[in-house]
């Protein structure tokens, strides 16, 4: 057995142990609120007597999982690409375990910041903070006239109709039933995706933009990377939603919406409002104040409750704490967009396709390049059309690279009217 084969076998065995160790660490499932909390809150709010929701969390003990993760970290070689991946992954899972053991306390915020960062974190390239970027999109969206919406954008689609449309789209893509679209009356979010199932909130209404967003974001990124991860012969954890991959995963999914024309300014506004709400909660705002913030921003009561509960998952609703996952969307989007442009400039556009081989970070895919070349990690079996058509992707990125060199403020200084 060669040295490299021994290294791969050693780390593959550690990876298999990690997959078993984190089996019960269902982070989002355990921090999410039950659907039955919504109706009484909205009824009390309608009477003008809103009461803070009372959320009961289970008392959890993941000490055994944390010990196993520590043993995996100790046994992995951080100088090897697989070893470094395992060390960083196990560390993030261990933080997730500590977060879950602290449910209902302010300590959750500390662990959440370690996993996802926060609103005051700077964007890639030492850019503005995530919160400053969020306010930019909120201001632009607020200035636009909603009457510019096309008629098709104003037609509500029922969850039942959307499930049939999405199921047809997915069956056509795979040429078989690989992902099932189901209705979930217990879901507070409008949609959620796993490897083989996409859940829609029963009774929710959707727009035409929602349909395309769900297809590109949930199905063709979150589900596809999980399915491709399941195809890996040596690294089964690439099928798991490790906390450390959240920023890349959500950034890639949002970038997919953007590059396919599936994202609209209202969607950007919703993501940005959540970032501002996280900052408000950390600054001391309670659940009712954040609920009113979403309401004043134009969301209806049901969606305002859904948005506010995202901010208070796992933390006290009285203020001074927040679950900060929503801060990753804009930061991830900017990071992935920057990575794709860098890959084009470095003639490494292949890395963008390899990102779909499983759930990994932008750093992982670069470190794994020799392992892809050696056949240790397999390329993705399935790819969304926009990334599989390399020439079209290169054309859009090349334009983006050049357009970013033009300073809009200088153009406005030269002439109030743009002339060609």
For residue 88, tell me if it sits in a domain. no
Instruction: Find the range with the poorest average confidence among 152-156, 233-237, 269-273, 315-319.
Output: 152-156
Collapsing DSSP to helix, strand or coil, 377 comes out as coil
Residues 208, 155 contacting (CB under 8 angstroms): yes
Bridge partners (DSSP) listed for residue 200: 183, 191
Collapsing DSSP to helix, strand or coil, 325 comes out as helix
Pairing of strands 157-158, 205-206: antiparallel
For residue 206, tell me if it sits in a domain. yes
Residue 420's pLDDT is 45
The pTM for the full model equals 0.90
Q: How confident is the model at residue 2 (pLDDT cuts 50, 70, 90)?
A: very low
Instruction: Find the range with the poorest average confidence among 16-30, 86-100, 163-177, 253-267.
Output: 253-267
Token readout for 39 is 């109706």
Range of the domain at 263: 116-414
Q: Name, in order, each residue with C-beta under 8 angstroms of 113's C-beta and a sequence gap of 6 or more.
A: 324
Please state the rounded mean pLDDT for residues 298-307: 94
Give 225-245 pLDDT, tens digit per residue.
999 999 999 999 999 999 999
Residues 322, 88 contacting (CB under 8 angstroms): no
Please write down the HEC assignment for all residues of 272-289: HHHHHHHHHHHCCCCHHH
Is 80 exceeded by the pLDDT of residue 405?
A: no
For residue 242, tell me if it sits in a domain. yes
Q: Name, in order, each residue with C-beta under 8 angstroms of 386's C-beta and a sequence gap of 6 or more.
A: 256, 259, 260, 392, 393
Instruction: Find the range with the poorest average confidence among 6-20, 179-193, 218-232, 301-315.
Output: 179-193
Residue 412's pLDDT is 55
Residues 383, 393 contacting (CB under 8 angstroms): no
Residue 245's pLDDT is 97
Q: How many CB atoms lie within 10 A of CB 186?
A: 11
Could you identify the residue written with the tokens 């153009």?
Answer: 411
For residue 5, tell me if it sits in a domain. no
Residue 146's pLDDT is 57
d(CA 386, CA 287): 40
Give 345-364 pLDDT, tens digit per residue.
899 999 999 999 999 999 99
For residue 385, tell me if it sits in a domain. yes
For residue 93, tell me if it sits in a domain. no
For residue 47, tell me if it sits in a domain. no
Residues 96, 104 contacting (CB under 8 angstroms): no
d(CA 312, CA 104): 9
Q: Looking at per-residue confidence, does 143 or 232 come out higher?
A: 232
For residue 60, tell me if it sits in a domain. no
- Domains in the chain, number: 1
């Amino acid at each position: 057995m060669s040295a490299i084969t021994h290294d791969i076998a050693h780390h593959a065995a550690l990876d298999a142990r990690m997959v078993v160790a984190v089996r019960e660490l269902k982070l989002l499932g355990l921090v999410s609120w039950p659907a039955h909390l919504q109706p009484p809150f909205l009824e009390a709010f309608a009477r003008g007597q809103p009461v803070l929701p009372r959320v009961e969390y289970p008392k959890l003990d993941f000490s055994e999982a944390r010990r196993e993760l520590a043993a995996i970290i100790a046994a992995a070689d951080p100088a090897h690409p697989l070893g470094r991946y395992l060390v960083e992954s196990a560390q993030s899972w261990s933080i997730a375990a500590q977060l879950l053991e602290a449910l209902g306390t302010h300590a959750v915020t500390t662990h959440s910041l370690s996993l996802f960062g926060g609103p005051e974190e700077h964007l890639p390239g030492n850019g503005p903070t995530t919160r400053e970027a969020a306010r930019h999109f909120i201001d632009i969206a607020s200035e636009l006239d909603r009457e510019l919406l096309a008629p098709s954008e104003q037609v509500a689609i029922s969850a039942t109709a959307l499930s049939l449309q999405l199921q047809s789209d997915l069956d056509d893509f795979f040429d078989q039933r690989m992902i099932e679209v189901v209705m979930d009356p217990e879901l507070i979010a409008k949609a959620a995706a796993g490897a083989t199932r996409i859940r829609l909130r029963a009774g929710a209404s959707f727009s035409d933009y929602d349909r395309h967003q769900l297809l590109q974001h949930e199905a063709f990124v979150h589900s596809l990377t999980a399915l491709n991860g399941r195809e890996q012969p040596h690294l089964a954890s690439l099928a798991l939603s490790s906390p450390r991959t959240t920023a890349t995963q959500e950034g890639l999914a949002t970038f997919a919406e953007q590059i396919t024309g599936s994202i609209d300014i209202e969607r950007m506004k919703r993501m940005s409002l959540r970032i501002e709400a996280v900052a408000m909660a950390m600054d001391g705002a309670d659940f009712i104040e954040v609920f009113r913030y979403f309401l004043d921003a134009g969301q209806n009561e049901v969606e305002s409750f859904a948005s506010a509960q995202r901010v208070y998952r796992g933390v006290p609703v009285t203020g001074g704490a927040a679950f900060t996952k929503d801060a990753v969307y804009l930061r991830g989007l900017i990071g992935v967009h920057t990575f794709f442009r860098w890959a084009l400039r470095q003639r490494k556009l292949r890395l963008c396709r390899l990102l779909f081989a499983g759930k990994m970070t932008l750093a992982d895919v670069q470190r794994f390049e020799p392992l892809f070349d050696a056949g240790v990690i397999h390329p993705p079996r399935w790819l969304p059309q926009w990334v599989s058509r390399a020439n079209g992707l290169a054309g859009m990125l090349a334009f983006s690279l050049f357009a970013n060199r033009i300073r809009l403020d200088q153009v406005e200084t030269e002439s109030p009217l743009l002339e060609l």
